[in-house]
Amino acid sequence: MRTQKTLIASALLTAAALTLSACGGSGDQDSDTSPVSVESQPERKAGTVLDRPFTKPDLVLTDTRGESFDLRAKTKGKPTLLYFGYTNCPDVCPLTMGNLAQAKKQLPKADQEQLQVILVTTDPERDTPASLGSWLKAQDPAFTGLTGDFATIQAGARQLGIAIDPPKKNAKGKVESMHGKQVIAFSPKTDQGYVLYNGDTTTIDQYAADLPKLIEGEAP
């Protein structure tokens, strides 16, 4: 069973790392539900506990107030959910952040204050600190938005197995950002990313069920 679980987690991680999503594009429909079979991963289990947790990226970016934000220093010892996306995304990104915001509201006040939810933009040219802050305020004013140099952001995402491409215009002339849809949960005990969620398939109820354990650094 241990070997089987390891293979399942590795398969999911590999597929997630290789799958890019253009928010609003047709590429969202291909293979997001294929990495794990029904028999090996119960439907109610949204998160995959990683056998080899990720080291938190050494990222220093700019927050929505225009101030420097050291990801490791600012989130040290705190339960943290990290997502890479962008504000002009028409579907996956607002769905993901909205679901997290609604799930967070179901927590006791003290737990809400502990939880760190961070969006790192994959479209830093358009997502200025001001525009990022305005967009996130509509989701949850306590969420943290980070922007900065694209190459730095891309390198940080790659450390977590998340692929992102430079934004570019599609056939209709609209700018799209191709990015992985993973939400990574970092433990307050180890500061390592130990649980992985698929942003466009994990529901509010699934996040709400897992958050109390994530806040304690436990496996959901």
Q: How far apart are CA 155 and CA 174, in angstroms?
A: 25
CB 120 within 8 A of CB 84: yes
Q: How far apart are CA 106 and CA 104, in angstroms?
A: 5
Read off the pLDDT of residues 123-177 as tens digits, 9 standing for 90 and up.
999 999 999 999 999 999 999 999 999 999 999 999 999 999 998 888 887 888 8
Evaluate if pTM is beyond 0.85: no
Contacts of residue 4, defined as CB under 8 A and 6 or more positions apart, other chains included, come to 40
Q: How far apart are CA 22 and CA 20, in angstroms?
A: 7
Read off the pLDDT of residues 180-219 as tens digits, 9 standing for 90 and up.
999 999 999 999 999 999 998 999 999 999 999 999 999 9
